Amino acid sequence: MYLSSADWMPRNLDRRIELLFPVGQPEPRRKVLEALDALFADNVKARRLLPDGTYKRKRPPKGEEPFRAQIHIYRDAKRALERALAAHGVAFEPAPAPSEKVSSTG
């Protein structure tokens, strides 16, 4: 599996440096595939490219639960952070300057 910054438009390929890199390790590869699965499952914000070049917004079919990929991916990332903090604690906490007041609401 490879990821790339290129969008294959000639004007971009001619005037920019585009990057292509492999995703070889199993865990990052799994995360990329999970994100792609979520993006393709989105039935709220996703658009479908039609043959004439226009886009049509996807809608959840009747009886199907609305699914927004961005919210799903955000919640997964938040859960992963919470698990990491629970397992390892905070590794670095910046000290405020003596003149700064720190809010407990963060």
- The model's pLDDT over 52-71, given as tens digits with 9 standing for 90+, comes to 999 999 999 999 999 999 99
Is residue 33 in some structural domain?
no
Provide the number of structural domains found in the chain. 1
Is residue 65 in some structural domain?
yes
Is residue 26 in some structural domain?
no
Is residue 4 in some structural domain?
no
Helices (H), the chain: 10-15, 26-41, 69-88
Is residue 2 in some structural domain?
no
Which residues are within 8 A (CB) of 20 and not within 5 positions of it... i.e. 6 or more apart? 2, 3, 4, 5, 6
Across the chain, mean pLDDT equals 89
Average pLDDT over residues 17-24: 89
Is residue 47 in some structural domain?
yes
Is residue 25 in some structural domain?
no
- State the residue range of the domain holding 76: 42-88
